[in-house]
Amino acid sequence: MSQTSQPELLTFEKACEYCGARLEVSSVAMHSEPRHYHFVCPQCSKDYEISSFAPPRVRVLAGRTDGRTGPYQQTMF
Ligand SMILES: [Zn+2]
């Protein structure tokens, strides 16, 4: 058995809940405890939280589909 010390790249696709854009989120798996990281949808700025080993990188695979142009707005009131 050979052990690899190469970090493993974890990639998953996610559809933005707000604008419908398809996002590819990639992160590196390391031998440590996962932490919570935030990332934002590049199309509408809605933020998400994931459990990961390193700060995630986000790439847009397909643009937003909601027809809106404004950013996601948190309900603050
Ligand atoms: Zn979005």
pLDDT tens digits, 27-77: 887 767 888 999 999 999 999 998 888 889 999 999 999 998 889 886 655
Cβ partners under 8 Å of residue 27, min gap 6: 9, 10, 11, 37, 50, 52, 53, 54, 55, 56, 57
Query: What was the pLDDT predicted at 26?
Result: 94
31: domain range? 8-62
Confirm whether 30 is domain-assigned: yes
Query: What was the pLDDT predicted at 59?
Result: 97
55 CA to centre of ligand 1 in angstroms:
19
Confirm whether 37 is domain-assigned: yes
| Domain count along the chain | 1
Confirm whether 42 is domain-assigned: yes
22 CA to centre of ligand 1 in angstroms:
8
Closest CA to 65 of 22, 26, 30, 35: 22
Query: What was the pLDDT predicted at 69?
Result: 86
- The pTM assigned to this predicted structure is 0.78
Query: What was the pLDDT predicted at 3?
Result: 62
62 CA to centre of ligand 1 in angstroms:
11
14 CA to centre of ligand 1 in angstroms:
10
Confirm whether 71 is domain-assigned: no
